[in-house]
Structures are given as C-alpha cells and as structure tokens.
Amino acid sequence: MIKKSVIIPAMIFLIFGCSNTKEVANIVEEKPVTSEYTKDPHSFSRPWEAAVTHLSLDLTVDFEKKTLDGKVSLKIKTSGNVRKLYLDTGDLSINSITLGTIETPTEFRLGEKVDLLGQALIIDILPRTSIVNIYYSTSPKSGALDWVSPVQTAGGKHPFLYTQSQPIFARTWIPLQDSPGVRITYDAKIKVPPELMAVMSAENPMEKNAEGVYNFIMPQAIPSYLLALAVGNLEFRATGQRTGVYAEPELVEAAAYEFGETEAMIVSAEKIYGPYRWGRYDVIVLPPSFPWGGMENPRLTFLTPTVLVGDRSLVALIAHELAHSWSGNLVTNADWNDIWLNEGFTTYIESRIMEDVYGVEYEQMLAVLDKESLRREVENLGADNPATKLKVDLAGGDPDDGFTNIPYQKGRFLLTAIERAVGREKWDDFLRNYFDQNAFKNMTTERFLEHLNSELLADNQQLSDSLNVPGWVYGVGLPDNFPEVSSDLLAKVSESASVWANGGPISDIETDGWTTHHWLQFLREVPRDASKKQMDELNSAFALNESNNPEILVEWLLLSIESGYETAYPALEKFLTEVGRRKFLKKLYAKLAETPEGLKWGREIHEKVRFKYHYSTNLSLDKILNPEKM
C-alpha cells in the first residue's frame, strides 16, 4: 500500500501538543539523545530525559461498558534535573495521577489530539521521582481493544476481548511511552467475569479460577507493541514440553492438532540461532475479527482461526511468529521506519525453520510463492515508489502503512542473497552472534549495516560491492542481484495449468497430495480472463467455491473477480462477512475497487459488516474504498 502523508510532520505534532509559545519553544528544542534511545516520529515520549522501565497494571475488564478501568504504576529512570514525564495516550480518560508509593498528587495535562498519534500526556515530576501512578479508563472506541460479541465467537455464548497493540495502539489501552525503542518489564492484575479466563504476553495460567482475578509477570523487557491481553471462554492444551494452545472449547482440540509440531520448530530455530529465551511458547486462537495472521506477543502468539484447516499446511505462520522470538522480540527495530529489521529477518528465519522441519522441497515451494507475492506488491506499488525501499520514511504518516510485503519478502531475500554469497555456515555464525550481542536491545538500519560490514564484509570489498546491500536497503524496486528461486514441484503444477488452459482435459490434472502451496500456484497460473465455461469447469471439478482453506479460497475469489465469474460472488460476500483477517480483506476489496461496479458493491458490503472488523482493518479498508476522504 502506498504511504499517504495524512498528518503533519513530527515537529509540528509536538507543537500541537502545547498550549503556549514558551512551551512550544521548549518542546521543539533539540535534546541530546543517548545511544540507548532514538527519537521516534510516532511518539510524543522523550525517553532520553525520563524513560519508563517497568509498569504494574491493575485493571478491571467491563464487557458492558466496553472499558478497562483501573491504574498503572510506571517505574521510571530520569536523566539530570528532569521535571516532566512525556507519555503517549489515545482516547484515554485520565482521572488522577500521583507520585511515589505514598501517592502524592501531581499536576498533568493532555496535549491537543493529533490524527493517528493521539495525545501527549505531560506529567509534572521531581528529579527524584521513580514511580508515577495513573488512574484511568479506556474508551469503548479504543483502537487496541476488540470487544467481540458472543455471536461472533465459536461458542456463541460468551463475549471475548483481545488487544492489538502493534504498531502504536498500546497507547489506547495504557498510558505509556509507545515506541518500539523503549523496553519495559511488567506485572499485572486483571479482573474478569468468573466464567472467563485472562491471558497476557507473560507467564500465564493454564486453567480458570473461581474469582476471575489473574496475576501476571513478564520478567523480560519488551517494547510496548508486544503488550497483549485476551479474555474469553478459554481452555488450554499442551502440545509439548514448553508449548501449548489456548482456544475456545469448540476449537481447542483442532488447534492442538494443527500446532502439534511447534516444539520441533523451536528445537530447529535453537540449533541455528541460540536458545529460546522466553520460557514457554504458547499460542491462542482468537475470533475471526483478529486482523493479522499472527501477532508475536512473547510467550503467547495471537493467531487467526483461518489457519485451522486440518492438514497443518499453513503452519509456516507459526514458524514466522516463533522466529520473532529472535528477530523483533529479542532485537527490535528502533522505530517503524526500520520495520524490515523485524519482519525481513523473521521471514528469513521462518524459511530456515520450514526447511529444517519439512524439507528443502517444501521450502522451495514457499520461496517461489513468496517471490511472486513480492513481485505483485512491487507491481502494485510501482517499481519507483519509495515504499518499495527497505528503509522507509513513515514520519508524518501512519506506521501501519509500512506493513506491506516489502519489509517481509524483500528483506528476506536480501538475507538469502547474503547467505548464498558468504556461505550458510559463516552466515549462521554471524546471525547467532548478532542476536547474542544485541539481545533485548533496539536496532537501527544504520547500526545493522555498520555491524554487517565490520563483522562480515569488511575484508572482502569485491564481495561487498557485488552484494550492494545499501542498494537493497535504500533503493526502490527489486535489485539486479535478486536471488533465483525455483521449485520442481510447482513447475509441474504450472505445466498442468498450462495444458488445461490450452484445452487439455481437466481430468488429467493429478491433485492427489497437493498442499495449499500447489493449489496457490495452480490458481495463479489460470488465465486472468478465463471464460465462464473454464471457471465452471474448475469449480465443478474442485468445489472451489466451498473451499474451507482461506488461502485457496481467496486466490480463487481474486481470480473470479478478475474474470467476472459471478457464480463465485455469493461465496465472496460470505467470506467478506465472516472473516476479519486484514491480509485477505485488503486483497479482495482492492480487486473489487478496480472497477466502478465492484467499488460500489465493496462499499456496500463494508458498510454492512464494518462493525465486525477490527479498528485497524477498517482504517486500511477506508483507504482502499474511500481514498478521497482520507
């Protein structure tokens, strides 16, 4: 998606948070930045002056009011004679603020609202202040909180709540320094209705308690976007010595089977990148409105139910979220302009896990499909678009716009190119040392490039020149030295699709043993202008309108929109009505929006079902369906 400059530049954000000229001057004055913290264009905070290091939550979950009510106590460290603490908030009601364990009241104020960024919370502190207590409540319209009605859950009897803090929604449920460059530990007490269970990105319970009060500890320091809470009618099933799944009772057995090989993935990653440092690795299956495939919250990955297809063919998603335990959670991008350091590294590690657990041929299929997805993304964005750079400039815009295929796949293939150039053994040693040396720290693109050069490329200028890593990072489009990838298995699928498209009998297509990846390749090879007769033949032979695999169904629906195959439109409307995964919805609505008729129909459906989608999903879809209003 092309980045849009919908808000004013970072300096002006800060100015709008002030009430008089003197304060404006103080705000925009340049301040020294320590090596630990960098300025984040999407945060009002000033951690180099006063940084939050730990937070203690005491919150009550109110499903009737759709609010969280309570208190957060922030432990801070200050630099010099600092008199103010700057935090990020979004639609929070701040009731009172006190300092220290004796809770001395203090003055505070909220800055003016800034689109997407919320408001600065500026608190008067003393140079010796180490604890700040904030009594507050969230808004029913919080961007992070999705209040799911019983009818939208698998069981249909109990409500469900989950948070989505990435990229900058943590500020809409906790007042804090909402920047990936600021790491915190936390503890929490969460009160919920006694028939429900609460879990967090922390040490978790494995069964309900009668009181509905749950206590959590997160001893490892994490960035704010990894703060997470889910509340629902949950059960737990172990899948390994340090792995398990949480899900509604109706889904828990299917989830336990689907993710039964998670422990093997951890072992695979540890062999290459060093020990898993987070204790347990559990997952939770959320309701359909969850906007992402997965969210790598430490100790508890949040997952879409769309991966529960019964044959473990979509578990690359687990490998991806697990890989974040090293790249992202352990070594974190300093701000969202460096998102490729999280997602590109993670996608590369995902590929290595999949190769180790499922074999080279399986990973080759994934690589071919990923390259095709990247090619499509670059084509849609435009090869000269700055959004196709790895290092992007999102200041003045929505950091969520950075989550295209570019940081994931272009970043992954850059690391593949380096691996092939220096050799896998040398590259693995480099990565393991990189994670060890930078564990629980943030990282910028520039510091990584310096590290790469000094530790791996400095002694071989010819190799460095041929790789042209800066060209990959700061250049648009795809570089000339993009790695070649191929798959004999998918080549056979492409051949079958070609023979059929040129008049061969559909009965000759051997689909026994096909995985999701075979089907995706096949459908992508079907001519975009396929006739109604051809589409009828495909649907009749393979029941594609009724596919229970969302990856396959979405590819089929995209083909149906392009070819004008209206027989698939009831299935399309049903999918848009029932599934909230943003990756799928953006593709389908964008394809509809390519024609006036499709845009009109897409707008009608979106207005009818937007209440089912997550806040961030609706933001993305509004940019597609109503760009003139953004």
pLDDT tens by residue, 585-601: 999 999 999 999 999 99
Task: Decide if domain 495-629 falls under CATH 3.40.140.10.
Answer: no
Q: What is the pLDDT of residue 169?
A: 98
pLDDT band per the 50, 70, 90 thresholds, residue 629 = confident
- Closest by CA to 293, choosing from 611, 610, 585, is 585
- Residues 366, 368, 369: CA angle, nearest 5 degrees: 65
Mean pLDDT confidence for 164-187 = 98
Mean pLDDT confidence for 483-509 = 96
Q: Please count the other Cβ atoms lying within 10 Å of the Cβ belonging to residue 429.
A: 15
Q: Please count the other Cβ atoms lying within 10 Å of the Cβ belonging to residue 626.
A: 13
For 71, list phi and psi in degrees, rounded to 5. Answer: -145, 145
> Model confidence over 452-470: pLDDT tens digits?
999 999 889 999 999 999 9
Tokens representing 242?
Answer: 């340090």
Q: What is the pLDDT of residue 38?
A: 83
CATH topology of domain 234-325: Zincin-like (3.30.2010)
Which of the 8 DSSP states describes residue 113?
P
Q: Which residues of 510-529 are buried (b: 16+ CB within 10 A; e: fewer)?
A: eeeebbbbbbbbbbbbbeee
Q: What is the pLDDT of residue 586?
A: 96
Question: Would you tell me which CATH number, out of the four given (1.10.630.10, 1.10.390.10, 2.30.30.280, 1.10.760.10), belongs to the domain 331-474?
Answer: 1.10.390.10
Burial of 454 (0-12, 13-18, 19+ CB in 10 A): exposed
Find the length of the chain: 630
**pLDDT exceeding 70 applies to what percent of the chain?**
94
Residues of the chain with CATH 1.25.40.320: 495-629
Handedness of CA 95, 98, 104, 105 (dihedral sign): negative
> Model confidence over 292-335: pLDDT tens digits?
999 999 999 999 999 999 999 999 999 999 999 999 999 999 99
Peptide bond connecting 479 to the previous residue in cis, omega within 30 degrees of 0: no
Mean pLDDT confidence for 80-84 = 92
Mean pLDDT confidence for 180-206 = 98
> Model confidence over 379-437: pLDDT tens digits?
999 999 999 999 999 999 999 999 999 999 999 999 999 999 999 999 999 999 999 99
**pLDDT exceeding 90 applies to what percent of the chain?**
92
86 catalytic, yes or no?
Answer: no
Catalytic residue among 408, 434, 565, 615: 408
For 57, list phi and psi in degrees, rounded to 5. Answer: -100, 140
Predicted TM-score (pTM) of the model is 0.91
Q: What is the chain's mean pLDDT, rounded?
A: 93
CA–CA dist 44, 13 (Å, integer):
8
Mean pLDDT confidence for 530-548 = 97
321 catalytic, yes or no?
Answer: yes
In the predicted structure, residue 21 carries a pLDDT above the cut 50: no
Catalytic residue among 321, 363, 377, 555: 321
Q: What is the pLDDT of residue 3?
A: 33
Residues of the chain with CATH 1.10.390.10: 331-474
pLDDT band per the 50, 70, 90 thresholds, residue 35 = low
pLDDT band per the 50, 70, 90 thresholds, residue 628 = confident
> Model confidence over 200-231: pLDDT tens digits?
999 999 999 999 999 999 999 999 999 999 99
Q: What is the pLDDT of residue 10?
A: 32
In the predicted structure, residue 513 carries a pLDDT above the cut 50: yes
CB 373 within 8 A of CB 405: yes
Residues of the chain with CATH 2.60.40.1730: 1-232
Question: Would you tell me which CATH number, out of the four given (3.30.70.990, 3.30.930.10, 2.60.40.1730, 3.90.79.10), belongs to the domain 1-232?
Answer: 2.60.40.1730
Q: Which residues of 353-374 are buried (b: 16+ CB within 10 A; e: fewer)?
A: bbbbbbeeebbbbbbbbbbbeb
> Model confidence over 39-71: pLDDT tens digits?
999 999 999 999 999 999 999 999 999 999 999
All residues at 6 or more sequence positions from 430 whose CB lies less than 8 Å from its CB, including other chains: 422, 452, 455, 456
- Closest by CA to 130, choosing from 78, 176, 80, is 78
Residues of the chain with CATH 3.30.2010.30: 234-325
